[in-house]
């Protein structure tokens, strides 16, 4: 217990943490602004209905896990979308004793109204459905900050986080029920947790076992978000571990396989331990992939992403031109971003190009951090600040109703 209190005392919320918190607060404010400009859609209805069914009751259709069928495009997204509605309904039930009989959620006949039909009683349904995805985007931003600041220092962390917090594509993914931001969190977290495990493997086993448990949980998030994200995160993480774990390379594959097996158990749990429903993930075409440059062209060619595109191009030029920038900390995220940008899903809906953004911004932050320490550091800092400001302005202009 004393050790835990000492760990808490070591935590500091100083100026760097405050700046990062301010950027993440701006990210959330933009997300809430977008939510206020949205209306409930058929997709919301699907996620609300089937998400609640995963928590409250089985599907009325025999042989299917929910009335959406045996979900194969990210069960975690449905569960997270339905969880706030289910909790809200439980709270409404508790308040029924204080309501008039005609306003109660559970009527005197015992029949229960659907959440979709309770819009006049259960307020902020649209916001409730989006809170888990906004939180996932917030958590992904925190992961980017933690990784980049640890690797590249405060200025590198500010650069990567600033571009992330003003990414229109990420914001759109966080204000719509979908598995993309969850998969991005799982893939990015899986790769860098694998690197952390590889570093810890240089020490005693007792120190790297907790990180293996964390890796299992993160790979479970990736697998439950989209089954494609599990092999992608595992393979990229394994490659990074083989690079880092000198003298322990023979142990990297068993560690990744054990973590992957644990992740599949978590997917099984997300399906309520239903063998048929969970096996449908592997019997469907959800894992089919192909390669194309079209997603990268669309992303870098879109005007709202111009600040990120310019920063990425400048970082690539600096990376190729400066030997000091070509090391593992910059090369690993660049390779991961390139892999994700060229993947396309042919069996189900998915956006691996969105999963590439955290790696791309990590690469940008690392290369510019090297430039900040160079002979023209002030020029590099000014250029990076201008790119972040450009991206912020373009992102704000893309928000509906703001200008």
Side-chain half-sphere exposure of 263, counting CA atoms within 13 A: 31
For 168-210, write each residue's pLDDT tens digit.
999 999 999 999 999 999 999 999 999 999 998 888 877 888 9
Q: Is the pLDDT of residue 59 over 70?
A: no
Residue 31 tokens read as 């997300």
Cα separation, 264 vs 105, whole angstroms = 37
Q: Is the pLDDT of residue 8 over 50?
A: no
What string of DSSP letters covers 250-318?
A: HHHHHHHHHHHHHHHHHHHHHTTT-HHHHHHHHHSSTT-EEE-SHHHHHHHHSGGGHHHHHHHHHHHHH
18-22, 85-89, 326-330, 349-353: range with lowest mean pLDDT: 85-89
List Cβ neighbours of 10 (8 Å cut-off, separation of 6 or more): none
For 114-173, write each residue's pLDDT tens digit.
544 555 455 578 888 999 999 999 999 999 999 999 999 999 999 999 999 999 999 999
Q: 291 pairs with which residues across the strands? A: 343
The average pLDDT across 265-280 equals 85
pLDDT value for 69: 75
Direct distance between the N- and C-terminal alpha carbons of the chain, in angstroms, rounded to an integer: 53
Residue 16 tokens read as 């760097």
Domain ranges of the chain: 2-38+132-398, 42-123
Q: Is the pLDDT of residue 274 over 90?
A: no
Cα separation, 287 vs 222, whole angstroms = 13
Cα separation, 315 vs 367, whole angstroms = 6
Give the global pTM.
0.91
């Amino acid at each position: 217990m004393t050790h835990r209190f000492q760990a808490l005392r070591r935590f500091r919320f100083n100026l760097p943490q405050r700046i990062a918190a301010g950027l993440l607060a701006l990210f959330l404010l933009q997300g809430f602004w977008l939510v206020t400009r949205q209306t409930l859609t058929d997709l919301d209805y699907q996620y609300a209905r089937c998400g609640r069914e995963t928590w409250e009751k089985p599907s009325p259709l025999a042989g299917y896990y929910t009335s959406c069928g045996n979900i194969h495009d990210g069960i975690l997204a449905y569960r997270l979308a339905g969880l706030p509605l289910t909790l809200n309904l439980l709270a409404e039930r508790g308040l029924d004793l204080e309501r008039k009989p005609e306003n109660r959620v559970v009527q005197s006949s015992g029949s229960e109204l659907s959440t979709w039909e309770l819009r006049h009683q259960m307020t902020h349904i649209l916001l409730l459905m989006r809170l888990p995805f906004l939180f996932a985007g917030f958590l992904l931003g925190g992961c980017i900050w933690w990784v980049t600041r640890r690797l590249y220092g405060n200025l590198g962390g500010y650069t990567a986080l600033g571009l992330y917090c003003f990414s229109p594509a990420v914001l759109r993914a966080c204000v719509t029920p979908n598995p993309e931001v969850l998969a991005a969190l799982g893939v990015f977290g899986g790769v860098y947790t694998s690197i952390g495990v590889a570093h810890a493997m240089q020490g005693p086993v007792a120190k790297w076992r907790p990180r293996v448990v964390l890796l299992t949980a993160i790979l479970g998030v990736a697998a439950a978000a989209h089954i494609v994200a599990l092999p992608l995160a595992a393979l990229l993480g394994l490659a990074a571990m083989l690079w880092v774990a000198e003298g322990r390379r023979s142990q990297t594959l068993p560690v990744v396989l054990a973590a992957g097996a644990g992740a599949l158990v978590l997917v099984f749990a997300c399906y309520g331990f239903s063998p048929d429903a969970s096996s449908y993930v592997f019997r469907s075409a959800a894992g089919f992939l192909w390669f194309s440059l079209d997603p990268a062209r669309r992303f870098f060619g879109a005007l709202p992403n111009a600040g990120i595109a310019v920063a990425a191009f400048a970082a690539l030029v600096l990376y190729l031109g400066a030997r000091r920038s070509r090391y593992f900390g910059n090369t690993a995220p660049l390779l991961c971003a390139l892999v994700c940008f060229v993947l396309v899903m042919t069996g189900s809906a998915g956006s691996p190009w969105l999963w590439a953004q955290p790696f791309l911004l990590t690469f940008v932050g690392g290369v510019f951090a090297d430039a900040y320490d160079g002979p023209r550091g002030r020029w590099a800092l000014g250029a990076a600040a201008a790119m972040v400001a450009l991206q912020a302005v373009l992102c704000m202009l893309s928000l509906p109703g703001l200008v």
